[in-house]
Amino acid sequence: MAIDESTVGRTPLVELDAGVAPTVFGKVEWLNLPGVGHGGGSIKARIAVAMLDVAEEADHLPGKTILEASSGNTARALARIGAARGYETAFVVPDDLGSGKRAALEAAGATLHEVPAAEGYDALLDRVTELASEPGYWHAGQYENATNPSAHEQTGREIWHQTDGAVTAFVAGAGTGGTVTGVGRTLHERNPDVRVVGFEPATEPHGLHGLKYMREGGYHPDTYDESVLDEKRYLATEPARVAARELAVRHADTDPTIVDAGQHDGETIRATLRVDGDFLVGPTSGGAVACVRELAREGVLDGADTVVVPLCDRGDTYAEGELWGNRLS
């Protein structure tokens, strides 16, 4: 499997029509590993490259199968990059894994160990811990691997550069918590007044794929440093879906404005922004926009603010289910 790892990072920043007073920029993370098919890349390609680099430097990988628990995006990234580097891969995944993510994993030759989604995400973590105790595996450990948030310090540096230091708020969901932790640390180092907001699912089960329910105990990732947060919010699934769908409506006839192209050219960016003519984002991206709308409605953010949200993956990764099922079926 041919993979160009140089395409990971330096992703574009675009301006979204979010229907709020603050300026809202989206970091287009599906342009990590563009052109790989099955929904493109995702924000998790950043940590996959970083974790594998560190493991190879420590000589942990020879003769081992890469193992991880994932709702899809980390597994896709590790499967693709791992296969390109010559490793076998295996993943513990929920049994409701989206068809796009499943197709990507199968195309990369990954072995899948499925756990009932109704049992919650901690069941995946329990199962991967069992497998990791067996010989022959290297467990990436995205929930405890410090390389995860460290990799996103670079994401934060990109955001600072792309906004010329004008960013006043960063809003992101927490699964491993690596994104909001790493980006938040970097932005606070440059300006302690930047408002870093993390959000988590309000209920379990939920449809905010990739995020972890932690409201009533359970496993708390080592990679999630809540001291970085200026505020934490709990978000229901439906507002996230509504925000994602409204973005599609608002951008029905007009592409998001490219603020900074990163390492890509405008033609490449515009070619990947739409799916069958529609601007479709995943549920966690919709969740970030929904949180921005809440903050604006409450007066926490206003027209003087410049907010950045990660567009973690593209909507065709969720080709079935309640978010985009009708549109993409």
Q: What is the mean pLDDT of residues 158-177?
A: 98
279 and 162 assigned to the same domain:
yes
pLDDT in tens, 81-115: 999 999 999 999 989 887 777 888 998 999 999 99
Does 329 have pLDDT greater than 50? no
Residue 86 has a CB neighbour count (10 Å cut-off) of 7
> In 3D, which of 204, 219, 214 has the Cα closest to residue 126?
219
Is 44 tagged catalytic? yes
326 — pLDDT class (breaks 50, 70, 90) = low
Q: What is the mean pLDDT of residues 286-308?
A: 98
**Rounded distance between C-alpha atoms, residue 117 and residue 28, angstroms:** 28
Q: What is the mean pLDDT of residues 121-143?
A: 94
97 and 231 assigned to the same domain:
no
Q: What is the mean pLDDT of residues 150-155?
A: 98
Q: Which domain holds residue 293?
A: 5-41+152-328
| Given 44, 101, 212, 232, the catalytic residue | 44
Domain annotation covers residue 145: no
Domain annotation covers residue 198: yes
Q: Which residues contact 295 (CB under 8 A, 6 or more apart)?
A: 169, 171, 197, 301
Does 7 have pLDDT greater than 60? yes
Does 284 have pLDDT greater than 90? yes
Model's pTM, two decimal places?
0.94
Q: Regarding beta strands 257-260 and 231-235, do their DSSP bridges make them parallel or antiparallel, or are they unpaired?
A: unpaired
**Rounded distance between C-alpha atoms, residue 288 and residue 154, angstroms:** 20
Residue 114 has what pLDDT? 95
Domain annotation covers residue 60: yes
Provide the domain count of the chain: 2
pLDDT in tens, 256-281: 999 999 999 999 999 999 988 999 99
- The CATH number that applies at residue 293 is 3.40.50.1100
Residue type at 28?
Answer: V
pLDDT in tens, 198-226: 999 999 888 898 899 999 887 899 999 99
300 and 179 assigned to the same domain:
yes
